[in-house]
Amino acid sequence: MCGIMGYVGSGETVSIILDGLEKLEYRGYDSVGLATVERGRIKTQKTVGRLAALRKMLAGNGKRGGAGIGHTRWATHGRPSERNAHPHLDCNQRLAVVHNGIIENYQELREQLQKKGHIFISETDTEVVAHLIEDYYKGDLLAAVRRILGQLKGSYALAVLSADEPGKIVVARKSSPLVIGLGTGENYIASDITALLDKTRDLFILDDNELAEVTPAAVRLTKADGTEVTKEVFRVEWDAVTAEKNGYEDFMRKEIHEQPQALQETLAGRVDWEKGTVVFPELKIGRDDLSAIRRIHLVACGTAYHAGVVGKYIFERLLRLPVEVDLASEYRYRQAIIGPDVLTIVISQSGETADTLAALRLSQAKGSRVLGITNVIGSSVAREADEVILTQAGPEIAVASTKAYTTQLLSLYLLGIYFAQELGTLEEALRQQLLTEVKLLPHLLEKTLATETKIKEFAEDFKAKENIFFIGRGLDYPSSMEGALKLKEISYINAQAYAAGELKHGTLALIEEGVPVFALATQPDLYEKMLSNIKEVKAREATVVALVSAGDYKTEKSVDYALYIPKTHPFFTPILAVVPLQLFAYHVAKVRGCDVDKPRNLAKSVTVE
Ligand code: M6R
């Protein structure tokens, strides 16, 4: 994900900014750029690739004093290129802007600005911000930035520089983090506390809809409506490593908690809310191509495979097409029937998994069109697939995949609705209902995180268990599989997932007093059947944790522990249900003293077979 660093003061502006950006490198990026004001003009330097290359270009630029802003970009709108790298400038090159987040209505704004004569250089959503400010700038940068905010839909952390006010940076924030570091006779701005820790530990943390004018001597904070804001200075006591984790003990817990934001960003720009339609402008596959598709193959490994299993339910329900879901390591050798009438969808967080890539190449060789869903722009899947959808989870550092999974699910839901909309297989009323629910998912996931308090309380009870079973029916079955995988990989407890209807066919023999069973019962049409399965295992004195939807207080009478997810359309429960499963795995692993971020024997990216 993108990173922002800025400086105002009498120090070495360029090297201070480069050092700050270096601290943000771990987040991942594909291009980098920097702007300063020199001799009354904005000067920018940008490059595709690593920060070290920009450092080389700027070697010898010992510029002291003034203001500067820098940015590491993780491409969303427009490929990685020098033109698309930040900072972006207005027509007269008097303003420079860096931005994290997504301006959802940028197309509309771009067209309006073009009609007024503005010339655009890049393909990015960010460039509209520079041109909008240009329209309102009358010598007061703070006032001009404040005036444009009402026109921006989406999320942003913005930092703006003006050649006419050289010792100043103006920043603004909505749904994307931004902090101001306080020095003596100098100040800093950054998207992440990590970038500032070796400079200062005193910060202002900007809240949504707040702006600030930052000069070497002062920080003026205001709300978007112009009201002045007074804030307490936030003193950071963390060390640098903890700061990278933003105060969380581990990356895994941080990433679990980042899921509402990750969903929000994956959703951004995907729905035309006025028309009530899903949009995927980057897809070349049209209605005629879709009509020629007779089967869909979903292929992936590990957690991404579980997203594929949910995908099978989604596509079959929405498109009424036969869907096969395969582990990539099996698909590549099982002589699957693949041809031009098959759409292959490969799912991979890293985009580098060896088996998934082999499956992609095999499908292409057999004439199938391949659509890749990946989190990493520039990855092999992103480069080789015929069509690419990028999830916007941001860098996932912990080996256990969490936010990548929920964003994969959201992408599959949106894709399913989009294909159904193109093919006319989805009733209008249901589509509107689904879209209404989709919009709420980031918020509902945020609420689901509240299950953590209870999970933390009872995690200790599972510390010494050797086997745990996860059971569910319908869409709860893939969630059970994902819950079992999470627990296995980070706590080293043997965990197995079963379709609850399968218990009687063998597994019930293993259920005896105290054996833990995690039962998912979020599907109303299968609820009574799940309740019977819960009673079956309870009758054998299993210890049962039930995961149900809010409002279902009947189940808790039959189980040892009950966890609730907020009510949503039953179709979407996998996105919420997985959260308590991730948290359960996390807290059980922690009480067992495991290194949750780096489980034994595992790598984040499996690039060998
Ligand atoms: O990068 P990918 O999504 O292709 O990775 C696939 C699996 O290796 C990955 O999901 C793995 O199962 C995770 N460690 C699970 O948490």
**205 and 279 assigned to the same domain:** no
**Does pLDDT of 365 surpass 90?**
yes
Atom of ligand 1 nearest to the CA of 374: 3
Q: How confident is the model at residue 140, as a pLDDT? A: 97
Regarding the beta carbon of 356 and ligand 1, being less than 6 Å apart is answered yes
Last residue of a domain, one of 237, 257, 280: 237
Residue 104 counted as domain residue: yes
Residue 597 counted as domain residue: no
- The residue among 530, 435, 535, 544 whose CA lies nearest residue 474 is 530
**457 and 574 assigned to the same domain:** yes
Q: Cβ distance 374 to 391 under 8 Å?
A: yes
Q: How far is the CA of 462 from the centre of ligand 1 (A)?
A: 25
Residue 455 counted as domain residue: yes
- What whole-number percentage of the chain has pLDDT above 70? 97
Which range of residues forms the domain containing residue 258? 243-447
Q: How confident is the model at residue 179, as a pLDDT? A: 92
Q: pTM value?
A: 0.74
Residue 471 counted as domain residue: yes
- Which whole number is the average pLDDT over 93-100? 96
Report how far residue 574's alpha carbon sits from residue 577's, in angstroms, rounded to the nearest whole number. Answer: 5
**416 and 274 assigned to the same domain:** yes
Report how far residue 126's alpha carbon sits from residue 207's, in angstroms, rounded to the nearest whole number. Answer: 21
Kindly report which listed range (123-127, 192-196, 589-593, 605-609) carries the lowest average pLDDT score.
605-609
Residue 607 counted as domain residue: no
Catalytic residue flag (residue 91): no
**467 and 582 assigned to the same domain:** yes
**41 and 158 assigned to the same domain:** yes
Last residue of a domain, one of 196, 213, 237: 237
**74 and 45 assigned to the same domain:** yes
**357 and 463 assigned to the same domain:** no
Regarding the beta carbon of 380 and ligand 1, being less than 6 Å apart is answered no
**214 and 346 assigned to the same domain:** no
**259 and 403 assigned to the same domain:** yes
Q: How confident is the model at residue 27, as a pLDDT? A: 66
By most ligand atoms within 8 Å of CB, the mutation choice from 305, 349, 578 for ligand 1 is 349
Residue 132 counted as domain residue: yes
Report how far residue 417's alpha carbon sits from residue 437's, in angstroms, rounded to the nearest whole number. Answer: 13
- In which order are the strands placed within the sheet that holds 202-205? 41-48, 31-38, 64-73, 3-12, 187-190, 179-182, 202-205, 234-235
Report how far residue 500's alpha carbon sits from residue 485's, in angstroms, rounded to the nearest whole number. Answer: 17
Reported as a single tens digit per residue, the pLDDT across 7-33 is: 999 999 999 999 999 988 866 688 999
Q: Cβ distance 496 to 438 under 8 Å?
A: no
Provide the CATH number for the domain around residue 47.
3.60.20.10
Regarding the beta carbon of 606 and ligand 1, being less than 6 Å apart is answered yes
Reported as a single tens digit per residue, the pLDDT across 580-599 is: 999 999 999 999 999 999 88
**Residue count (the chain):** 609
Counting the structural domains of the chain, the total is 3
Residue 18 counted as domain residue: yes
Q: Whose CA is nearest to atom 11 of ligand 1?
A: 302
23 SS3 class? helix
**207 and 336 assigned to the same domain:** no
- What whole-number percentage of the chain has pLDDT above 90? 79
Provide the CATH number for the domain around residue 528.
3.40.50.10490
Regarding the beta carbon of 491 and ligand 1, being less than 6 Å apart is answered no
**67 and 183 assigned to the same domain:** yes
Query: What's the DSSP call for residue 206?
Result: P
Distances (CA, A) of 360 to 18, 211, 364: 38, 46, 6
Report how far residue 357's alpha carbon sits from residue 363's, in angstroms, rounded to the nearest whole number. Answer: 10
By most ligand atoms within 8 Å of CB, the mutation choice from 250, 401, 596 for ligand 1 is 401
Residue 298 counted as domain residue: yes
Q: How far is the CA of 444 from the centre of ligand 1 (A)?
A: 25
**Does pLDDT of 237 surpass 80?**
no
Reported as a single tens digit per residue, the pLDDT across 387-430 is: 999 998 987 889 999 999 999 999 999 999 999 999 999 999 99
**Does pLDDT of 80 surpass 90?**
no
Q: How confident is the model at residue 97, as a pLDDT? A: 98
Regarding the beta carbon of 314 and ligand 1, being less than 6 Å apart is answered no
Regarding the beta carbon of 401 and ligand 1, being less than 6 Å apart is answered yes
Catalytic residue flag (residue 604): yes
**394 and 286 assigned to the same domain:** yes
Query: What's the DSSP call for residue 268?
Result: T
The string of DSSP letters for 326-370 reads: EEHHHHTTTT----TTEEEEEEESSS--HHHHHHHHHHHHTT-EE
